[in-house]
Amino acid sequence: AQSVTQLGSHVSVSEGALVLLRCNYSSSVPPYLFWYVQYPNQGLQLLLKYTSAATLVKGINGFEAEFKKSETSFHLTKPSAHMSDAAEYFCAVSQYQAGTALIFGKGTTLSVSS
């Protein structure tokens, strides 16, 4: 079975500070990993994905994530937070070869203060 754990349901940072959102996964086979963002009353938007190519993945809006197999982690970072980054962030895992759908974590709410 596959699963995702997002550490910290709420993260608060100041504008311009580093953003770090943590995600650990469990998967019996090499996973595909994704980060999504959700703004209030909207659907989810794909930020970035890891599909067994480069371990450091760059996404939209200045976000990036690093796949670390030894730590079973896929943490999301952004060097400098912007007010518009305030949203809900979800990490998700898939075992495409097994034909399974994405399994999401419970999410982390990011607040950005001025």
Shortest Cβ 84–another protein spacing (Å)? 19
Residues 6+ apart with CB under 8 A from 12: 110, 111, 112, 113
Query: Which of 7, 22, 51, 64 is close enough to bind another protein by CB under 8 A?
Result: 51
Question: What single letter denotes the amino acid at residue 65?
Answer: A
- Count of residues in contact with another protein, rule CB under 8 A: 26
Residue 101, interface with another protein (CB under 8 A)? yes
**In sequence order, what DSSP letters do the residues of 50-61 get, joined into one string?**
E-SS-SEEE-GG
Binding string, residues 72-91; x marks residues near another protein by CB under 8 A: ------------------x-
Contact present, 8 and 105 (Cβ < 8 Å): no
Residue 106, interface with another protein (CB under 8 A)? yes
Residue 41, interface with another protein (CB under 8 A)? yes
